[in-house]
Structure 1
Amino acid sequence: MQTLFFPSLQVLELTGMTELKGWWKGVEAIESTNDSESTSSSEIVGAGRQYDDHHQLSMQFCNLSKLIIQNCPKLKFLPHCPKVEVLTLTGTNERLSVLKMATTTASCSVSGRAELKLKELTMDNVEDQLMSLPKQCLHQLSSLTVEWDGKLVNTKSLGEAFAALSYSLRRLKFSYCLNLRSISQGLEHLTKLEKLEFFECEVFDVSVNEQPTTSKEGDEMMPWKAFKTNLRFLLFSRLSKMVSLPSGLQHLTNLRCLLLMLNLEFREIPEWISCLSSLEELQLIDCPKLTYLPEGLSKLISLNSLIIIECPELTERCRRPNGLDCPKFHHVPIVIVKDSW
């Protein structure tokens, strides 16, 4: 007889539970049995079967829709969660896999076999976890956050997974990916993307691999052209190597909002910013080496909000009515210029 585990539970969050290993008494014993070199294979199989038969088939979070697990490094076992739509896994044990939650012989499935229909996913081991998921689990995924992933160096290896997300993914964020260096390959599949964010990726220089090129191959490698139709929101924040905007941004003629925040080495907004013909909001926050605005800003007739905060070299040039750069944004109805927050 099957027993549903907390049948009314819809949201579960486990954070900073550094000693938590599982959900059932006896799991630790089974795990230690599996890890023991002196234990016979028949004993291991027997323990595993007992665990599977009694727990995996009977214990399920049958109505859980949101699951957050952060900084629980010893947690290896969790009941099946066949209806989870919002999932966060960061700072977890490698054995706690998304794949284990992906399918189950759940009685709450009419067909007897339920598959995850993820809509929002946050993870810190994207190359292993995302690539291991069955493609049918990704068809409804609209938001992906890659957070604290120290293994991720470039996005080339994610091309296959991103291809599976090409029709569904609307939001992509890279946060605290401290070794990320390049996005020149892989992201070109995400043609439906509407929101793209980069935060605290300290070795990532967004312009290195996106310089102008006459090579057809090099041009196709730029992900920005793939975003031309649908990308609306773009954030670059705390990128310590960023000095200018990548030239590929010229293709983003439907971009509505561009935010540059806490980029301490950022020095220049290029004249081709005039190509961003649909831009409605531009925020420049704590970019101390940015010293002037380009003439091209005056051609952004859709711009209705300009915010400049903690950009000391720029502030005086943009103070109305007599700042030197004021004529470049005289058509903008909302202008906020402040020395500090």
Structure 2
Amino acid sequence: MGSGMPIANISNKLTTLTSLTIRKISGLVSLPEGMLKNNKNLTYLGIGDCQELTRIASPDVVCSCALLESVRISNCPILAYLPDGLLTTSLKKLVVQNCNGIQLLPVTQALPSLCKLEITGCQELSSLPSGLDYYISLQELAISNCDMLTSVLIHSPPSLRKLSIFCCNRKPESVPSLLDFTCLRELIIADSPGLTSLPIRLESCSSLEVLKISKLPNVESIPSLDNLTNLHELKIFCCDGLKSLPNGLAITSCLTHLKTLEIGGFWKELDSFPAFQVTSQLETLKLWGWPKLKSLPEQIQHLTSLTCLEVESFDGMEALPEWLRNLTSLKYLDIRGCKNMMYLPTLEAMQCLTKLKRIFILACPLLKERCNKENGSEWPKISHIPLIEDKCWCGELIEEKVSLPHSLQPTAYSLQLNLFHFLLSNEIRLASEQVEPVKDLHKLHQWIENQGLIQTAGTNAPRPNGGALEFF
């Protein structure tokens, strides 16, 4: 919408709203007084991409929103603050994204209903709301790209189950502690060059089920994982300063429930992969290499329950090992970014993988050429596999796995979205003329938008390109 004036003209006529979304209105400095004051049953408020917005509304007007349950404010660069009255006792979800002018969140009362707090891209924010440990319902806290925020984990909300920290570019003033995070189920720390160490007392989080540590170039060690016996998903990758794996994974493994493991991308001077031991019940394994590695770690040949194996960035490796034949449960094999890879295991070894449904080769130019259907020397080794892919069309939903509505799960699966690798591989390709249209794709796009996620590209019909969608 071009101007804020039409909103002022109609605001007095709206009195029964329960949900209000305002986006891309130029010239809007503040919401019209009647917009919030006259809609006392408002439970959702979303404001986005309003470049001139300096305040939401006057304090006395905002106080009328006593039933608000969800607030999302995004891409309002000169918005200076959130009014205290907007943060009501009924508030369950607060998301603030890319509001560079906000320096603090003025919470003067307890928020007993708040379940999720997400703060992203608020460059001037210097501290989190005080009293987080009194937010008895807070289950999810996500902090990303807030460079002035020099202390994150100064509170321990008693009910917190998921903690995510991304894009921490400055070194914290103090090393935080996880001692009292007794209910924490998922911890993600990623893309943070400012961190030189992980929070202390990680080992005390015995309830952790998911731990993801990635892209921390200045972290040189990781605390022991011995006590994290409930972990079923563990990821430690692209940490350039790491020379060894932590106790609990390095020599003897206490992680008896582990089903998914992603490790590698460590100190580039290591000549071999750090020792690790995992339960034979592991189902999914991804290994990141580095130029000096010439082979895969041999211990993985004993992981007979493995159904998915992915190897990436093993530039020094020319061939996959013959012992791959031992992975008789393998269904999916992905090979990515191995620029000198030329050979698969022998035909006999590949035929031992009777359950293999798909092989995916991306950014491996030599291997791709040898697997050419027309005259490739490696083609006979894979010709029996039902699905062979060598292009990343638009790939899996980004690394953060999102729970899709049940009705959309088949759609998401057939799309095989992998936006993460699509963007990072620098191999953006045109979609094939033979791509089949996917039924109800528009529903998936709508669901993604409702979740506040970013869409990059999509199509619902065969055509030369994927049809770039608007970034928002």
Classify the TM-score, shorter chain.
0.5 to 0.7
Letter in 2 for 1:301: T
Evaluate the alpha carbon distance shift between residue 324 and residue 291 of structure 1 in structure 2; reply closer, same or farther with a 3 A threshold. same
Cα distance in 1 for partners of 2:203, 2:298 equals 36
- Cα offset, 1:116, TM superposition: 5.9
Cα distance in 2 for partners of 1:294, 1:305 equals 16
Letter in 1 for 2:208: L
- Cα offset, 1:73, TM superposition: 7.5
Decide which of 206, 210, 219 is 1:143's aligned counterpart.
Answer: 210
Cα distance in 2 for partners of 1:9, 1:206 equals 50
**TM-score scaled by length of structure 2:** 0.50
Cα distance in 1 for partners of 2:152, 2:387 equals 49
Decide which of 328, 332, 335 is 2:385's aligned counterpart.
Answer: 332
- Cα offset, 1:103, TM superposition: 4.0
5+ long unaligned stretches in structure 2: 1-84, 160-179, 393-426, 430-472
Give the 5 Å matches for 1:47-196. Answer: 58-60=109-111, 62-65=113-116, 67-69=118-120, 72=123, 75-79=126-130, 80=132, 81-89=135-143, 93-97=149-153, 100-103=155-158, 117-123=183-189, 124=192, 125=195, 127-129=197-199, 131-132=200-201, 135=204, 138-155=205-222, 158-159=223-224, 162-167=225-230, 169-183=231-245, 185-187=247-249, 188-196=253-261
Task: Please give the secondary structure, in 1, of the residue aligned with 2:156.
Answer: helix
Cα distance in 2 for partners of 1:165, 1:4 equals 39
Determine whether 1:313 maps to 2:366. yes
Task: Please give the secondary structure, in 2, of the residue aligned with 1:274.
Answer: helix
- Cα offset, 1:331, TM superposition: 3.4
Evaluate the alpha carbon distance shift between residue 141 and residue 86 of structure 1 in structure 2; reply closer, same or farther with a 3 A threshold. farther
Q: How many residues align?
A: 276
Task: Please give the secondary structure, in 1, of the residue aligned with 2:226.
Answer: helix
- In percent, how many aligned pairs have the same letter? 24
Task: Please give the secondary structure, in 2, of the residue aligned with 1:227.
Answer: coil
Decide which of 330, 354, 367 is 1:279's aligned counterpart.
Answer: 330
Give the 5 Å matches for 1:237-248. Answer: 237=288, 239-248=290-299
Cα distance in 2 for partners of 1:258, 1:288 equals 18
Superposed CA offset, 1:186-219 (max 9, x none): 42332322222247x4635787254xxxxxxxxx
Superposed CA offset, 1:13-66 (max 9, x none): 4456667553339xxxxxxxxxxxxxxxxxxxxxxxxxxxxx5xx433632235
- Native 8 Å contact 1:85 1:120 kept in 2: no
Evaluate the alpha carbon distance shift between residue 238 and residue 248 of structure 1 in structure 2; reply closer, same or farther with a 3 A threshold. closer
User: CA RMSD of the aligned region, Å?
Assistant: 3.7
- Cα offset, 1:292, TM superposition: 0.9
- Native 8 Å contact 1:18 1:72 kept in 2: yes
Structure number having the greater helix percentage: 1
- Native 8 Å contact 2:122 2:145 kept in 1: yes
- Cα offset, 1:258, TM superposition: 1.4
Evaluate the alpha carbon distance shift between residue 115 and residue 247 of structure 1 in structure 2; reply closer, same or farther with a 3 A threshold. closer
Superposed CA offset, 1:150-200 (max 9, x none): 442233xx21xx233212x2222235423223226442332322222247x
Give the 5 Å matches for 1:249-268. Answer: 249-268=300-319
Evaluate the alpha carbon distance shift between residue 21 and residue 178 of structure 1 in structure 2; reply closer, same or farther with a 3 A threshold. farther
Superposed CA offset, 1:90-127 (max 9, x none): 55644321x513349xxxxxxxxx97633322225595
Evaluate the alpha carbon distance shift between residue 255 and residue 267 of structure 1 in structure 2; reply closer, same or farther with a 3 A threshold. same
Which structure has more relative contact order (CA 8 Å, sep 6+)? It is 1
Cα distance in 2 for partners of 1:239, 1:144 equals 23
5+ long unaligned stretches in structure 1: 26-54, 105-113, 211-221
Superposed CA offset, 1:202-250 (max 9, x none): 635787254xxxxxxxxxxx423x2321x22222357454432111212
Evaluate the alpha carbon distance shift between residue 166 and residue 294 of structure 1 in structure 2; reply closer, same or farther with a 3 A threshold. same
Evaluate the alpha carbon distance shift between residue 13 and residue 177 of structure 1 in structure 2; reply closer, same or farther with a 3 A threshold. farther
Letter in 1 for 2:183: K
Cα distance in 2 for partners of 1:335, 1:61 equals 52
**TM-score scaled by length of structure 1:** 0.66
- Cα offset, 1:149, TM superposition: 2.6
Letter in 1 for 2:272: V
Cα distance in 1 for partners of 2:201, 2:96 equals 23
- Cα offset, 1:252, TM superposition: 1.6
Task: Please give the secondary structure, in 1, of the residue aligned with 2:89.
Answer: coil
